[in-house]
Amino acid sequence: MTSIVINCAGDNELARKINDYFKAEITQSDDTIYISLSEDELEIDLEKLRISKANVRKLLKDFIKSNPDLADYYSIMEFEDMFVVGIPKSIDEMTVNCEMCGYIASSEEDLNIHKRTHGLIFIL
């Protein structure tokens, strides 16, 4: 494994802040090419920067702890060669379901459309 990805779950601003933090903490001026930022993801070449995955994990934890706005809400999840930084949500917070039949909708709009079908059934 030579590179690792840090995904910020759609938060481009957070990714930029982590990018700036990592560049300040682990790179010399000519090493910045080994950390690349693309929207909400950073890719770090561990081999070229001569750092370990454990160091990346520690730096991420230090970054979160050092920002009061993030410390109480954000967490770091690890999946093989990827770290995901974001606000953890329960499955109930990510899905919406129909109270009448349990149908799981992908959005509030889909749920409203589905609930209307219950009304149509009663009319027919």
Query: What are the pLDDT digits (tens) for 54-101?
Result: 998 999 999 999 888 888 888 899 988 999 998 887 666 667 888 888
The full set of domain ranges for the chain reads 3-86, 91-123
How does the average pLDDT of the chain come out, rounded? Answer: 84
User: Is pTM beyond 0.75 here?
Assistant: no
The CATH code of domain 3-86 reads 3.30.1360.210
Give residue 120's pLDDT band: very low, low, confident or very high (50, 70, 90).
low
* CB-count exposure of residue 91 (10 Å: 0-12, 13-18, 19+): exposed
For 42: left if phi > 0, alpha if psi spans -120 to 50, otherwise beta; the answer is beta
**Residue 27 in this model has a pLDDT that exceeds 70:** no
Q: Which residue has the higher pLDDT, 105 or 122?
A: 105
Return the higher-pLDDT residue of 89 and 114: 114
Across 15-29, 42-56, 87-101, which has the greatest mean pLDDT?
42-56
